Structure 1
Amino acid sequence: MKSKIFKIIAVVTILFVVGGLIGFISRPSENYSKASFLDSDITSEPAVLEVDLNEDTAKKPAAPTLEASPVVAPKDKKEVAPTVTAPILTPAVTPEVTPSTDSALELSGSPECSFEMPAQGVFSARPIKNTLGLKVTSNQKFRMALFFENTGNIPWFSENTNCQNVPIVSLGTTRSLDRQSAFLNGNRIMIKDEKIDPGQIAAFEFEVTAPFEADIYREFFALVIENRTWMKDSEIMVDFHVGETSESEEDIAKKAELIPISMKFSELDLSAPKSLEVDLSEQKMYVRIGDKLIRIFKTSTGAIATPTPTGDYKIEFKQQVRIAGGGTPYIMPKWQTFYKGAGLHALPSLGNAKLRHRILQLEPDESAPTEWFKDDSLWTEAVDHIGRPVSHGCVRLLPEDASFVYDFTNVGTPIAIHY
C-alpha cells in the first residue's frame, strides 16, 4: 500500500515539474527582463544631426543625459501593444520635405492594400524620440521598440504584408549603413503593424541581447524604403549603458558629445592627439582624435588668386574674434592662426565702425557679447560660397562648425592642408 502511495506521489511530482517546464518554455516573454530608461530630450521636430559620416550635410542630435525618468506608451490612432514602452507623443510638426519623383504605384491584393497615390508622393517620418538611453546588465535579454510618425502622404507597409507592389518600410542600422549591430540579429526590423497610414505611429519592436562586455554602446537607426532609399530625417540614436564602466562621468559626457557614429565609448581615447585635416579639392575639414574621425565640416578656402597655403602646420594663436587687417576690415569670429596671416575662422561679416572699434578693445580670449551683433549679419556672399574656394587664403567655416573647432583645438594642434 505504501509503495503504491509513493509511486503516485512520484508520478504527480514528475508531472508537476514537466508541466512547469513546458509552461516556462511556452511563455517566452518571461525570459526577458526590463531595461531601465535614461532621460533624454523629446522633440517634436525631425532628428537633426551635426554630422553624418555617410552624408556630411546632416546634423547630430543631442546626447542623452544619465538621470532616470519614467516612460509611457504613446497614443496613436492605431492601438499599440501595451507591452511596448515609449515617450509621450508630442504635437506633430510636419517637416519640409522634397517631393518624391516616384510614379504612381501599381497595387494589388486586399482592399487594405489600395490607396490613392498623390500627385507628389512624399515619404517623411518624425521619430517620437530621437535620442534614447537604456541601462542594462551584461548579457541581458529584453524587448524594445522605436516609434515613428508617418508625416508623409503615402502609407507604409510591413514586410509581412500580403500586398503586392507597395512601399515596404523597415528600420535599418546606420552609421555605417546596414552595419551589423551588437544588439540585433540582422540589420533590418519590420513594422509591427501591417500598414501605417499618414498621421499614424509605426512601432518597430525587436528582441535585444546586450553584449557581455561592460561599456556604453552608441547605436544609430533610421527608416529605409526597401529597394528605394533611406528616409531623410528619420535617424534615432540609442546609447546602451551595459553594466558598470570605470570611466568618469566627465569623460562619458565628453565622449557623448563627440562620438558621431555607432561605436563603443571605450574605443575613443580622449588622451589621444587631436588633429585637423583640410582637403582643398573636396572643400572639407576632417576632425580627429587619434585615428577616430569625429566630424566632417564643409569649408571655403582660398580662391585661385589667393590660395590657402598647403603643408603641415600647427595652431599658433587663438582669438575669439578678430578684425582683418589690410583691405576690407572683416569681422572674423573664432580666429585661429596656422600660418602667417592665414587662419581658420567663422564666416566673416562687415559690421560697422562702432562694432569694429568695440571688438578691438577685447582681449584675445574674450568673446564679444551677442547683443553687439544684433544689427549685424553674416556676409551673404560668404554663406553662399561655403563649399567653394573663394576666400582670401583663410579656411572659412559655418559659425557653429567654427565654434566646435575652436573649442576642440589647443595651441599646437596640428593641421594638414592638401589637395
Structure 2
Amino acid sequence: MKKKHHTLHIRNIISGMLIGAGIAGAATVALFALEGAHILQANSLQETRAERLTEKAEKVKVRRAQRVKRLGDTTSQVASGELANIEARNAAESAGVSCSYLPPENPTYSAKFIAPNNRIEEKRGELFVATLYLENTGNMPWFGDSSGCSHLPLVRLGTAKNRDRKSELFDKNYWLQQNRIAMQEARVNPGEVATFVVAGITPNVDDMFREYFQPVVEGVTWIESPESTAVVDLYAGFMRGAAPENLKYFRFSGKLSEAEPLLNGEKVIEVDISDQRVFFKSGGKVIAEYPASTGTFRTPTPLGRFKILNKQELRIGSARPHYRMPQWNGFTSRGHGFHALPYLANDNGVFWNEALNHIGQRVSHGCIRLLPEDAKDFHSLTEIGMPIVIHN
C-alpha cells in the first residue's frame, strides 16, 4: 500500500514539471524527477527498516527481561549455587563488607559472653529487650545476615538447653525464627565483639521465663562451652521481685510454672564409673553433667549408695604430701569425696597439670575429681544429706 502511494506521488511530480518547463525541457525535468523519486524511495525504505529494527529491539528487550526474571527465580531457589555466591559477594562489596579472609591452618571457633546472666522485669504486654555481647575468641571471622556473604557460614544465636527449642519469647519482629537471633554486625573479626538483641513482647501471664542461648556457625558447628552460654530471665507481670529459692536448679529453658515440679523433686547425684561422668538430677531430670576422674583399679572409688556428709571450700590432706582439694564434698568416713583437681603447695603446679591431663581417666586414690569450674558449679548445687549413687 505504501509502495503504490509513493509511485502516484512521483507521477504527479513529473507531470507538474513537464507542464511548467515546456516540451523542450521535458527530458531534463523528467530525469531530475526520476532522481528525486529514487531519493524518496530510498528514504522510505530507510524509514521502514528503522521501524523494523525498533520493533526487533523491543522484542529483544522483552525476551531479556523475561530471561532475567527466570534467572532471578532460579537464583532464589539455588542460593548455594555459584551464581548466588557471585551475587552475594557483589552485594557484600557494595555494602562495604569484605567476605574475604586468609583461612588459618587450624580454624577455631570459640566465644565468650561478656555478661552471660541477664535479668529483665517487665509488665505484661510491654516490650522487653536484652542485649548480649559476645567476644570472638577464636581465629575465624564471623559473618552476619546483613553481610551479604551468604555463600559463607553465618553466625547466629541459637536457643539451647534444649538445643534448637522453639522459644516462648519468640517475636517475628525481632527474631529470625523461633530458635534463631541475628548478629547485628555484618562482620566480627577475632578479638572483636558481636551484638545480639533478644527482644519481644512480654507474654500476658504472671510467670518467669528462662531462655539459654549459644552461638552457632550455621552448617558448621555450635560454639558450646560454659563461657559461650548466656541466659535471659524474663520476669513477667507479678513475678517481678526476688528469685525463687530453687532457681539454682533451673538449668534448662522454659517457664518456671512448668519447671517447678522438677525443681522441687528429689535431688540425686549419680556417678557412672564406666563413662567417668557425674550427673546431678532434680526430679529425675539431669540438670548438670560433668566429666570426672575416679579411682584406679588398685585404689577404686567405692560403689553403692552414699550421702554428702560434709562440705569445705578447701580440704588439706592429713597425710603427706598434703594434697590441697578445693570444693570438697565428702561422702565416706574413710576420706572419699568430690573435689576440684588437687594440687601441692610447693611443686609449681606440676601435680595439678598432671591431674588436668588425666581427667576422664581412672587415676585418683578413690576420690572423684572434677575440673575447677565444674567443681565450683557442683559445690553450689550440693547440700549435706543429698543421696549419691555410684555404679559401673
TM over 0.5: yes
- The reply on whether 1:398 has 2:371 as its aligned counterpart is yes
Pairing of 1:5-404 with structure 2 (within 5 A): 107-109=85-87, 110=90, 112-113=92-93, 115-120=99-104, 123=109, 125=111, 127=113, 129-141=115-127, 146-148=132-134, 156-159=142-145, 163-185=149-171, 186-191=178-183, 195-196=186-187, 198=189, 203-205=195-197, 208-231=200-223, 234-245=228-239, 249=242, 252=244, 254-266=245-257, 267-268=259-260, 272-318=265-311, 321-325=315-319, 329-346=322-339, 347-351=341-345, 379-404=352-377
Normalised to the residue count of structure 2, the TM-score between the two structures is 0.60
Count of paired positions: 288
Q: Equivalents in 2 of 1:349, 1:128: separation in Å?
A: 30
Q: Equivalents in 1 of 2:145, 2:199: separation in Å?
A: 17
Q: Which amino acid aligns with 1:398?
A: L
Q: Equivalents in 2 of 1:202, 1:238: separation in Å?
A: 17
After superposition, the Cα gap between the structure-2 partners of 1:111 and 1:139, relative to the gap in structure 1 and judged at 3 Å, is closer
List gaps (5 residues or longer) in structure 1.
1-105, 353-373
Percent identity of the aligned residues? 35
After superposition, the Cα gap between the structure-2 partners of 1:169 and 1:395, relative to the gap in structure 1 and judged at 3 Å, is closer
Normalised to the residue count of structure 1, the TM-score between the two structures is 0.57
Q: Equivalents in 1 of 2:166, 2:215: separation in Å?
A: 16
Q: Which amino acid aligns with 1:131?
A: N
Q: Deviations over 1:304-329 (max 9, x none)?
A: 2222121122234556525255x765
Q: Which amino acid aligns with 1:291?
A: G
Q: Please state how far the C-alpha of 1:264 moved relative to its aligned partner.
A: 3.1
Q: Which amino acid aligns with 1:344?
A: G
Runs of at least 4 residues of structure 1 off by over 6 A?
Answer: 374-377
Answer whether contact 1:134 1:238 (CA < 8 A) is retained: yes
After superposition, the Cα gap between the structure-2 partners of 1:159 and 1:413, relative to the gap in structure 1 and judged at 3 Å, is same
Q: Please state how far the C-alpha of 1:417 moved relative to its aligned partner.
A: 0.3
Q: Please state how far the C-alpha of 1:300 moved relative to its aligned partner.
A: 1.2
After superposition, the Cα gap between the structure-2 partners of 1:342 and 1:299, relative to the gap in structure 1 and judged at 3 Å, is farther
Please state whether the residue corresponding to 1:117 is helix, strand or coil.
Answer: coil
Please state whether the residue corresponding to 1:178 is helix, strand or coil.
Answer: coil
List gaps (5 residues or longer) in structure 2.
1-83, 172-177
After superposition, the Cα gap between the structure-2 partners of 1:396 and 1:210, relative to the gap in structure 1 and judged at 3 Å, is same
Q: Deviations over 1:7-46 (max 9, x none)?
A: xxxxxxxxxxxxxxxxxxxxxxxxxxxxxxxxxxxxxxxx
Tell which deviates more after alignment, 197-206 or 385-394. Answer: 197-206
